[in-house]
Copies of this chain bind each other. A is one copy, B any other.
């Protein structure tokens, strides 16, 4: 591998720390998605399907609008993968009771099974990393990750006391 450029930068260590932060996110995300991607490919689905199945499992009876605001994609993009998942009976839709325009989304048993098998690899990876790192490191990890995430979404991760 080529050498890392150092250069006469007085803030070298700091620059280097930030670069490492950027890269850790890149490598972690790359490795984190590799296993589910391989499983999905075998059944003709993609990462986008995983994201939908994941968040419908996470928030049963979520509406389409809520899902769109989490995924931050257009409804046309969502529509494609969501239709696949409904057709193949991973996800069921039913009208909202208060607002009948809504289509509340839930996983079917088949969907629950899919979600579990996909996310198990990811859960195992996190669990192993948490176990190896210890509770204090995990708290540090959470704190930094929250700082990276846009403020609007931080409320999704309540501190331990509130969990």
Q: Residues of A at under 8 Å CB distance from B?
A: 1-5, 13, 16-32, 34, 51, 54, 57-63, 66, 72, 104, 119, 122-123, 125-130, 132-134, 136-150, 153, 156-157, 163
| Given A24-B157, A126-B21, A147-B132: A4 touches B141 (CB 8 Å cut-off) | no
A136, B129: Cβ atoms under 8 Å?
Answer: no
Q: Secondary structure at chain A's binding surface: helix, strand, loop or mixed? A: helix
A122, B22: Cβ atoms under 8 Å?
Answer: yes
Residue of B nearest to A27 (CB): B149
Report the minimal beta-carbon distance from A55 to chain B, rounded to whole angstroms: 9
- Our pick among B1, B130, B157 for the contact of A144 (Cβ within 8 Å) is B130
Between-chain CB contacts (< 8 Å), 21 pairs: A2-B63, A5-B57, A5-B58, A17-B138, A18-B126, A18-B130, A19-B123, A22-B54, A22-B122, A23-B156, A23-B157, A24-B146, A24-B157, A29-B29, A31-B148, A31-B150, A129-B144, A129-B148, A130-B144, A137-B140, A140-B144
Which residues from B are CB-within-8-Å of A59?
1-5
B58, A4: Cβ atoms under 8 Å?
Answer: yes
- Our pick among B13, B18, B24, B139 for the contact of A163 (Cβ within 8 Å) is B13
B145, A28: Cβ atoms under 8 Å?
Answer: yes
A5, B60: Cβ atoms under 8 Å?
Answer: yes
| Given A23-B58, A27-B156, A28-B25: A133 touches B143 (CB 8 Å cut-off) | yes
Which residues from B are CB-within-8-Å of A143?
132-134, 137, 140-141
Task: Give the distance in Å from the alpha carbon of A18 to the alpha carbon of B61 in the complex.
Answer: 21
